[in-house]
Amino acid sequence: MRYTTHAQAAFFSLSPPPALVLSLLWGGARACALIIPKSQGRPRKCSKAVPCRQSGSGSLLVAPSPAANLSGKNSGSAAPVLPVAHPGDRSVAALEPLKDVHVGLAPPCQDPGRLALLSGHYLYYHYGCDGLDDRGWGCGYRTLQTLCSWPQGQSSGVPGLAAVQAALEDMGDKTSGFRDSRSWIGCVEASLCLQHFGGPQGRLRHVPRGTGLWDELKHLYSHFAGGGGPVMVGGDADAQSKALLGVCTGPEAYVLVLDPHYWGTPKNPSELQDAGWVSWRKVSTVFDSNSFYNLCLTSRT
């Protein structure tokens, strides 16, 4: 079989279970072919607007902590109606991304059996960090930007959201009209963009159900222990993209999660750590057992 894209070659290098069937992903005549379960359709859009609360200054909207999002609890106020923002718009002030925001976090348990963290350096990209209000649709782009900043932890060479959309349309992965839209992207698009923009290599893995991520822990450990970079994760029922920065196994299994859904102006990594935007989370609670997941693992070669 001839593979026409990097993503195709990466996926067909895996050994999928017999229950999986070949299906074409959406997005144009040259969309990437993936092995996905017959029962699975296109991953749903990350369309839920992150509820926001006023900060102490009274002038900045700050998203609640990830713990509140996971529990489904908030202050009781309805989510705000977001303005229509496009990748070329600038509705808030641009920020200088913080670097290596996980540094200083303690291990999740006292006696970890095995613990491995990413090598190299990265920048934390999140909602609104470049002046664009992309709440509700930009988490995949922000996670991709974090991947592109690795391993030097530099912003040079990191594409903006408009450049990502233009590239995907130009390479034929998306149809005309994708530019200047608020359409989401996932791990497959991220792997294509890593290759297009000359970033780190992106290797794709597919997990049919969230429960299968337990079996991925050994691969994640080998990845991080072997010098690998951040891992992008996204699914269908769980459509919120995020990055994994490490894995820890012991009495329980944990992954170190970097959440791009933060909206605000972080002053330092400690602020993000205290609020849980970068934190160790139990594998048993952070992933949806009913969702399939794609992973994009970055490496230097």
Residue 6 is a catalytic residue: no
What's the pLDDT score for residue 83?
Answer: 39
Q: Is residue 116 part of a domain?
A: yes
Catalytic choice (187, 261, 288, 296): 261
Catalytic choice (130, 134, 259, 288): 259
Q: How much of the chain exceeds pLDDT 90, in percent?
A: 64
Do residues 121 and 152 make contact, with C-beta atoms less than 8 angstroms apart?
yes
Spatial separation of the C-alpha atoms in residues 42 and 19, rounded to whole Å: 18
Average pLDDT across the chain, whole number: 78
**How many other C-beta atoms can be found within 10 angstroms of the C-beta atom of residue 93?**
11
Has residue 183 got a pLDDT over 90?
yes
Enter the DSSP assignment of 45: P
Has residue 301 got a pLDDT over 50?
yes
Q: How many distinct structural domains can be found in the chain?
A: 1
Q: pLDDT band for position 89 (50/70/90)? A: low
Mean pLDDT lowest among 52-66, 122-136, 232-246: 52-66
- Average pLDDT on 140-153 reads 98
Per-residue pLDDT tens digits for 7-66 = 443 333 333 333 332 222 333 322 233 333 333 334 445 534 333 322 232 223 344 456
CATH number at residue 60: 3.90.70.130
Mean pLDDT lowest among 27-31, 118-122, 158-162: 27-31
**How many other C-beta atoms can be found within 10 angstroms of the C-beta atom of residue 186?**
26
Residue 139 is a catalytic residue: yes
Mean pLDDT lowest among 66-75, 228-237, 270-279: 66-75
What's the pLDDT score for residue 130?
Answer: 96
Per-residue pLDDT tens digits for 255-272 = 999 999 999 999 999 999
What's the pLDDT score for residue 186?
Answer: 97
Residue 216, SS3 per DSSP: helix
Residue that is written with structure tokens 């195709």 in the block:
8
Residue that is written with structure tokens 């794709």 in the block:
204
What's the pLDDT score for residue 214?
Answer: 86
Q: Is residue 1 part of a domain?
A: no
**C-alpha 168 chain-centroid distance:** 17
Catalytic choice (139, 148, 187, 296): 139
Q: Is residue 140 part of a domain?
A: yes
Q: Is residue 74 part of a domain?
A: yes
What's the pLDDT score for residue 297?
Answer: 98
Q: Is residue 291 part of a domain?
A: yes
Residue 223 is a catalytic residue: no
- Average pLDDT on 145-165 reads 97
Which domain, by its residues, includes 155?
A: 6-299
Q: Is residue 107 part of a domain?
A: yes
